[in-house]
Amino acid sequence: MQFRRGSTDQHEDELPDHLAVLVEQDCDDVLNDDVVQRAHNLAFNTETDYNVVARMDGMDAVVDDGTIGSPMDATDAWWSIRTLNRILVASVAKGEEGLRSSAEDLNRAIKAAPFGSTAQVRAIVARAVLIDKSRGANIVAALQSIGTDRKDTMVLASTTIIDSSLQASTPDLRIALRCAMAIAHLRRIESTGGTPNQSLRMVESIMTRSNMSQMSLLGCTAAILLMDELYEHMSAVELFQPSLERLA
């Protein structure tokens, strides 16, 4: 791997980029007990969560993802999901060093997931939520990742597999993305001195009863970060009070 790093020569047996990223990770981190059990379940065509001890958002859906073409692809997706969940749990820890570490880990989670997979889409959306730098560009990338282009590509690529994993995840992904957009708008208000009315409309559209029932860890983390951002705007605290109560 190190010998070929940076080489422009094409190799017949060259690993796909996402598999190359996985090979560079610590073996014990990639092949933990839960992933080994899930790989065993996949090999013997049993339920993906059979004998799995630790449940985690997104892990069960990997086997239903039409972009997963091999057991190694599934292992890539599982590692990406576990990395993302670890980042989300730790996201309450502030500080520049933690932010840089999260950005680097998120980029690895994006690169390690098979291209177009739900695992990759979740990591791209999480980047738009968690990382302040280039938030606008990250939001655009997230919008593209859950847009119609991906669905059209999958229809052309496979007529026999229906990707139910993205359909199941889309409401939660859109909630998280709208939270990222609301945070970005509030940041613009802070720098330009505008009014928070548009942000209020965004928040009101997010915090509905039906939306809250569909939240995974990603959506909940995005909502918590949005709540933190709203509390920073004390001048508009009365305006946002009903929304803050629903977020809480």
> What DSSP assignment string belongs to 12-27?
TTPPPHHHHHHHTS-H
At residue 153, what are phi and psi to the nearest 5 degrees? -60, -40
CB 233 within 8 A of CB 190: yes
Residue 134 token pair: 């280039």
Predicted pLDDT of residue 6: 55
Predicted pLDDT of residue 226: 86
Predicted pLDDT of residue 54: 84
User: Residue 213 carries which DSSP code?
Assistant: T
Residue 88 token pair: 């989300």
CB 124 within 8 A of CB 134: no
Predicted pLDDT of residue 209: 66
**Please, what are the averages of pLDDT over each run of 10 residues along the chain (248 residues)?**
53 82 92 92 95 91 94 96 93 65 90 95 96 93 76 36 51 90 84 64 69 81 86 66 66
CB 18 within 8 A of CB 115: yes
Predicted pLDDT of residue 154: 39
Predicted pLDDT of residue 47: 96
Residue spans per domain, the chain:
17-247
Report how far Cα 3 is from the mean position of its chain's Cα atoms: 32
Q: Supply the pTM of this predicted model.
A: 0.82
Predicted pLDDT of residue 192: 65
User: Rounded to a whole number, what is the largest CA-CA distance in the chain?
Assistant: 63
Report how far Cα 2 is from the mean position of its chain's Cα atoms: 29
Kindly list the distances between the CA atom of residue 145 and the CA atoms of 60, 61, 211, in Å, as whole numbers in the listed order.
21, 17, 20
Residue whose tokens read 């940076």: 6
Q: Give residues with Cβ within 8 angstroms of 54, minimum separation 6.
A: 34
Helical axes 71-90 vs 217-232, angle rounded to 10°: 30
Alpha-carbon distance of 48 to 61, in angstroms, equals 9
Predicted pLDDT of residue 10: 62
